[in-house]
Chain A
């Protein structure tokens, strides 16, 4: 009885582990585009936070202007590159 149970367990495990019916996709290497989109989300959230904190009165006008300026520059650079890559991607497919 115990031996049968052990054998059954071993068999079930072996079949599950080694009998693959799909090919085990290894996954894509993270692309520049995916990275940029993550980055955009972060910069956008930081910008929203900055606007919010300014409206809540935590930042003086001067600091707000300079911080927003530098963050918007970064955002613009990211947007530009995203656009370029997506365009290339579409052209490549066509």
Chain B
């Protein structure tokens, strides 16, 4: 399939890459799944670390949680079912990131709303600033006549490279 895409041109390849990214995880092996799902969980013992990174001696939770995760994967549960099991035991804070549902969705949306709003603001101000014609607040009065050319020559001489 990849060769067909390659022959059809670069745009198709990009599409294939995007497709592969979205389909990612559909058929990965157990260890890969363990690390992928494990990366969505926190250690709830108070160490404020990711589950798979929690390594302090005598942690009361991380070992049993890893065992639970391994068992869930071996059993063939879906990712969502495994995570739901953890949430039921340890509460919502066990998930390392907010979910994409309900109020939690706001956590994901706001950054992009802010960035988008910021871009609109910048573009607006750039346009406005391009139109205006301003003077320094304490501008010197314009000079004209013969004196002007003299001062201008001096400025040019003094600002040569």
Which of B140, B152, B155 contacts A44, CB < 8 Å? B155
Tally chain B residues at the interface, Cβ within 8 Å: 18
> Whole-angstrom distance between the alpha carbons of A74 and B142 in the complex?
8
Q: When the two chains form their complex, are residues B136 and A39 in contact, meaning their CB atoms are under 8 A apart? A: yes
Other-chain contact of A80, B138, B151, B158, B160 (Cβ < 8 Å): B151
Stretch in A15-23, A46-54, A58-66 with 4+ CB within 8 Å of B? A46-54
What residues on B are CB-neighbors of A74 within 8 Å? Answer: 136, 140
Which of B110-161 touch A at CB < 8 Å?
A: 136, 138-143, 147-148, 151-152, 154-156, 158-161
CA A43 to CA B141, docked complex, whole Å = 15
Q: Is A72 an interface residue (CB 8 A)?
A: yes
Task: Mark A residues whose CB is within 8 Å of B.
Answer: 32, 35-36, 39, 43-44, 47-48, 51-52, 55, 72-81, 83
Q: Is the CB of A81 within 8 A of B140?
A: yes
Cα distance, A75 to B158, chains bound together (Å): 11
Contact of B156 with A77 in the complex, beta carbons under 8 Å:
no
Which residues on B sit within 8 Å (CB–CB) of A83? Answer: 151
- Are B148 and A51 in contact (CB-based, < 8 A)? no
Choose one: B136, B140, B155; the contact of A72 (CB below 8 Å). Answer: B155
Inter-subunit contact A47/B155 (CB<8 Å): yes
Residues of B within 8 A of A73 (CB): 142, 152
Q: Is the CB of A35 within 8 A of B142?
A: no
Known: A77-B141, A80-B143. A55 touches B161 (CB 8 A): yes
